[in-house]
Structures are given as structure tokens and as C-alpha cells.
Structure 1
Amino acid sequence: MHPMLNIAVRAARAAGSIIARGFENLDDLNVEAKGNNDFVTKIDKEAEKAIISKIQSAFPDHSFVGEEGGSINNNPDFTWVIDPLDGTSNFIKGIPHFAVSIALLYKGKLDQAVVFDPIRGELFTASKGSGAQLNGYRIRATKGKDISSTILATAFPFRDKARLQESLSQFTRIFSQVGDVRRCGSAALDLAYVAAGRYDGYWEKGLKAWDMAAGELLVKEAGGLITDYAGNNDPLYAELKAPGSANGLVAGNPRVVQHIVKQLKG
């Protein structure tokens, strides 16, 4: 395992322990609203602090971009992008579907990734050029197949209901042609599941850099493709350059991605 990936795994497990303990005591979360249908708990904050502390102990000069405000600008060559608890709404409601997401960018390019599900004990990892793994075993995205038999994943614009009709129209076009569609509430796990071949594809708009960073590298290293809604590459880098500018994300094998993009365009 790459040394930096090894540290990321340790950080993810440290955060996972905090999250698992918090999940056993949901009456003591101190839930706060960050925005419309956007919540944070003391567990999110504690988990992010644990991740940064663990990584800083090994790499004190690295930079960080964290969902819960843990942004530190040091060495720009090494930037960790962190979502300490992706799926906070599930967590708050006691739904056991959420994950820790950690990615490292080296000179602006994805280099290492970890998505850790602390409830199922599933650790998804990837290093650039070395493939993707689940608990140490190689995983691969699905290969081209009949669209009518695919299982896809998505999300609805729960923070921006003004986009609901557009989103429903896109959903209807896609859903009518595929096997089924899941909506589970964690972008990091949706992308990890695409990498593992559990889902054939995934699309969502409104993602932040920390939602997609680790999952994007997992999918690519598992042989999948990542585009935006227009079919352009690298929505993550658009979001990092100008937050809020990414034109959605589509993931899957090339055939599935091509089909989803076509339907998204109408």
C-alpha cells in the first residue's frame, strides 16, 4: 500500500470509530442546520478533526479542504479533500448508510482515495495507476451491457427544489430505459458501488468537491468513466477551481455513461 494511502486509511478508520460510537447514541448529536436541508452534527466535526490530526502527524505541511471548515492552506502540491461523514441525514435518522471520504490531490491531480463504511466495515481504496480495491481485493466497474438491465443510482435536488422539475424529467427519461434506479443518500458510497460493480452507473448534480473526490478516483481506477452532464471530463477540477460551477457528475462504464449523458441532454 502506498504510504500516503496507508495514512489515509488510518485516518478513515479513526473517523469511523467516532462515527460508529455516535451512531449508538443518536440522542446526543447536537444537530445544526448549515442551510436548507443541510445538517451537521458534533460527530461530523469530531471526525474531521480526527482525520486532519492523523494526517498532519505524518505530513504536517500538507493542505486540507474539509466540508466542516477544516481548510488549511500549506503546501499546495499536497491537498487532502475530506468529507468526514457523507450521508449525514441518513446518520441522523439512524439509517446505516454513510461513509468517510478522503482523497489526496498531488499537484492538482487525484492521487489517493479512501471511502470507508464504518457500519459494514467496507474499505474502498485506490492509488493512481494501481487500481481500486475493496478490503484489499481488486474491484472493477461493470463492462458494457444492455441498458435495459442496468441498475443505476442518483439523487434528487433536496437542497434546491427549484431544480426539481428538470431533475424529474431527466429521471423519467433515464428510468424508463433501465432496469432500476436507487437513491440511497451518500454520493461517496454511490461512486464506490459503481467502482465495485454493484451499480452500473450514477448521476447527480450539485455535488461539492468533497462529495466526489475519492469516489471519482475509485471509479477511474476500477476502469470506469467520469464526465459531467455535457459529457466533458473532470467535474471535480471544475468544482475545485470555482465552487458551484461543476455541471453535475456521471459515472459508470463508457456505454452507460454515454447513454445517461444523452438522456440528460434531452
Structure 2
Amino acid sequence: MPPPNRIGTTNCSDFVDLEDKHKFNKVAEDLELYTWGSYYPTYIGDILANRYCIDYKLGHSGFSVVWMAYNMHSKRDIALKIMVLGDSGERECYMQDEIKNSVSDTSCLLVYQDTFLITGSCGHLNSANVMMILLSIQQKPGELVMPIALRKELVMQRGQLPAIYCASERVHGVDLSFISDMWSYMCLFVELYGDSCDLEWYNQHQKPSPHLGLEDKILRLRPDINTTELRLILDILRWGFLYLPEHRLTAVQLLDSVLFKDLMAIYRL
């Protein structure tokens, strides 16, 4: 039940017996996350942003809780997603901002209609009213401060891509770079575009077939595309999969490329 000082006036919830509690715990969010301040405590009947009246809960994930709410201004029911506190919750908003700023027609995409901030129980804390304590310089006279040297067992190993996505130069021990990331991106691009990533060049015991070129492989993966789309995808792949990294396209060149823009336009992206 919501406390009496809450804004909401309607409550359609019910109590759960202790013997049935375990049935709901399996499908409910972790209540400890409310205690830690990750989830925002929301009650049925609450009114958020002076507009949205909470009706009932639709579901949850690790980074949000989704409620059915009534927009008192537009007189419509809407889905209201309340994100968790911190970067994890804000990441989806950042991604949707990029989509709305980059895509001219979002009619076929599911993006937010409105966003707003809500203040939690610790919303009054900011850098202006947090007092820091500085230790006295005389606390440990004679102590020398030197750069820390981490033991090798404390240094985390750098993450490594699966071998099938590694650029050709990585096979020869060349360090990671932005240009090698572009090779990995092109592998993912092919896998998403054709539902498969043909990586026969990694097989040292297999000879390339002179009768099966890149064009034939694309048509085998995507027999539904027309001549214009085939020309665009071939030019992009030939540019992205150049063996020498200094000749390979960069991320900026790809985004500015007329080829890539024309291909995205076919799919209204």
C-alpha cells in the first residue's frame, strides 16, 4: 500500500500470502535493487512529471521497470519505462537519441515519445553540498609518495576478439587499432546482411575457387537483391576487406560514403 503522503490516490494492488510469495519472486524484479537505489520506488496511483498516472506493471529487466500509465494530458494509455540509476540505465536513452538524430523517418521504429527526470530519495546530493575531508600534510611526516607498481597477477589481460572476426594483420601480431576494428565491423556487417560470414581465407589448406567470386557469394546469400543493391554491397565489401590496413576504409569514410548512404536508404535507415 502506498504511504498516505504519496500523490497517488488509486491503488488496485493486493496482498500476497507468505506461502504464495515464492511464486511472485520468480517473475518479479529483485527487491534489493530498490534498497540500493537502483530501481525507483513506484506505486500504483503515483503521478510522475505531473502527467503520467501509474496503472499497473507490465514487466522489468535488469536495467528498467515498465509500467502501464495514463497520460492525463493526451488522455491515452502509454508504456512508461523507468530506467535504473547510473550509466546502465542512461545507455538506452543515449542510443535512442542517436537514432532520432540520425534517422529522418522513425515511423517504423519503436523509439521514445517523451523523456523526463525524476528525483529519488538522494536526489538532493550534488557536488556543491558534499564536504570532502582533506588529511593533514603532517599526518605522516617523512613519507615519500611514489608511483604505484602493480604486480603482474593484478593486471587484467586485454580482451580478444574471436579469431573469425580478427583483421588479417592481427594474424601476424600487429597490435589492435581502429582500422583493424573496421575489418571486424565488416565481418559483422556481412553476417547481419547475409546471415552468414564466409571466412574461407583463414583456412590455409583451402585454395580459392576461381569460379566463385565475391559477387557469386553475395547472390548465394541474398538471391533477392537487385542489381543496384548488389553493386553497392560489392563496392563496400571490397573497400572494407582490403588486405593492407593502410588502404582500408575508416569509420569516418564509411559514414560519409555515398555508397553506404545509398545502401542504408534502400532499407530506410
**Structures share fold, TM-score greater than 0.5:** no
Q: TM-score, normalised by structure 2?
A: 0.22
Which one scores higher on RCO, CA 8 angstroms, separation ≥ 6?
A: 1
**Higher strand content, 1 or 2:** 1
Highest CA radius of gyration, 1 or 2? 2
Q: TM-score, normalised by structure 1?
A: 0.22
